């Protein structure tokens, strides 16, 4: 595949034309941290920044995959091109994704205007793969109007999605204690839209009341603020999904009007730059040789010859 992928401009051109294989190869280059990755990102840069990125998060069992599938159906009815990144749990042996989300999204398997990719979390605790931001750039440049990012659903560690999305949807379900769990996990602070799925179950109205009450307790700023709606759905039957799509549109409009959309995207780019910089520094640290090698410095710290700060100074001086 490396020989076939060597012509990056051709791959990017094919992806821009909607060729699924080209999109798949570009995302594979991202996941594999290919040496061609810098060239790929440079080629994609002029075509990015247009898609509305929607993060979907929530505890396991609330129906994230079913809700994602329902949202894809609703957006396709509007004629929008949709990309889905479903971050699956990883196999502890192969590191690969379990692909459970693709199994539950077969409704769109043959639709050329929908691209679904399962990505392995590879042990990353934020609910996302480290490669997710670059993969989103590929789908954005490939002409997707809407990008849905479904997190792995790892409970109290999944709030990282807020830094990646323009709009974050928090899914809850009645009878799972999600009202209290949301407060514990910091979910209330990251949600732009709250959706109580499986609303045909007993306790749905009580969960809605709990979430609305908790949101009201946090409202204390005089600055213009988006008030997160709390909606009910039965995603498996497409009930309430149109209301969620309408709320997504309202939130996008509110962000554009108040400058929040630009602020979030600038913050996201800054985080991405920082992550790439730190990854580069870690790689250089692994290349240290001689008396300033990490192993040698660690030995000196253990023996008391130097302190950890002095060792870190030597590492930085050696890299510069």
Q: What DSSP string runs through 55-97?
A: EEEE-TTS-HHHHHHHHHHHHHHTT--EEEEEEEPBPTTT--B
| Residue ranges in the chain whose pLDDT is less than 70 | 1-6, 88-106, 120-130, 152-162, 176-187, 218-223, 289-292, 320
Please, what is the average pLDDT of the chain?
Answer: 82
Q: At what angle do helices 64-77 and 241-258 cross, to 10 degrees?
A: 80
So what's the pLDDT on residue 181? 58
What pLDDT shows up at residue 217?
A: 76
Say how far apart CA 34 and CA 198 lie, in whole Å: 42
CA 232 – CA 198 distance, rounded (Å): 8
Give Dmax over CA atoms of the chain in angstroms: 68
pLDDT value at residue 93 = 40
- Contacts of residues 249-257 at CB distance under 8 Å and 24 or more positions apart, as own/partner, are 251/167, 251/192, 251/193, 251/226, 252/52, 252/166, 252/167, 254/226, 255/166, 255/167, 255/226
Looking at the chain, list the stretches that DSSP marks H as alpha helix, in order from N- to C-terminal side: 8-16, 20-31, 37-44, 64-77, 100-103, 132-141, 178-185, 187-190, 204-217, 241-258, 260-286, 294-303, 308-319
Q: What is the pTM of this model?
A: 0.84
Contact 41, 134 (CB under 8 A): yes
Choose among 92, 33, 93: nearest CA to 282.
Answer: 33
pLDDT at 248: 98
| Contact predicate 86/98, CB 8 Å | no
Residue 112 confidence (pLDDT): 86
């Amino acid at each position: 595949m490396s020989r076939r992928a060597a012509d990056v401009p051709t791959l990017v051109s094919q992806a821009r034309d909607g060729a699924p294989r080209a999109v798949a190869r570009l995302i594979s280059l991202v996941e594999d941290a290919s040496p061609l990755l810098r060239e790929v990102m440079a080629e994609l840069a002029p075509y990015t920044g247009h898609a509305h990125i929607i993060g979907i998060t929530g505890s396991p069992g609330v129906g994230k995959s079913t809700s994602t599938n329902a949202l894809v159906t609703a957006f396709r009815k509007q004629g929008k091109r949709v990309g889905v990144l479903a971050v699956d749990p990883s196999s502890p042996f192969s590191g690969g994704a379990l692909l459970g989300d693709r199994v539950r999204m077969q409704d769109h398997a043959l639709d050329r205007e929908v691209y679904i990719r399962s990505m392995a979390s590879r042990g990353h605790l934020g609910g996302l793969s480290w490669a997710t931001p670059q993969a989103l750039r590929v789908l954005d440049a490939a002409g997707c109007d809407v990008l849905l990012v479904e997190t792995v659903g790892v409970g109290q560690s999944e709030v990282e999605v807020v830094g990646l999305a323009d709009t974050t949807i928090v899914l809850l379900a009645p009878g799972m204690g999600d009202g209290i769990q949301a407060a514990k996990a910091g979910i209330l602070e990251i949600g732009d839209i709250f959706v109580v799925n499986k609303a045909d179950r007993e306790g749905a109205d009580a969960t809605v009341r709990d979430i609305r009450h908790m949101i009201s307790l946090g409202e204390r700023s005089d600055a213009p603020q988006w008030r997160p709606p709390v909606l009910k759905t039965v995603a498996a039957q497409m009930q309430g999904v149109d209301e969620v799509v309408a709320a997504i549109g309202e939130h996008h409009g509110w962000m554009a009007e108040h400058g929040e959309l630009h602020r979030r995207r600038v913050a996201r780019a800054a985080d991405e730059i920082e992550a790439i910089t730190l990854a580069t520094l870690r790689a250089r640290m692994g290349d240290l040789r001689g008396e300033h090698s990490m192993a040698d410095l660690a030995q000196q710290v253990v023996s008391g010859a130097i302190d950890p700060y002095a060792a870190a100074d030597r590492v930085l001086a050696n890299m510069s």
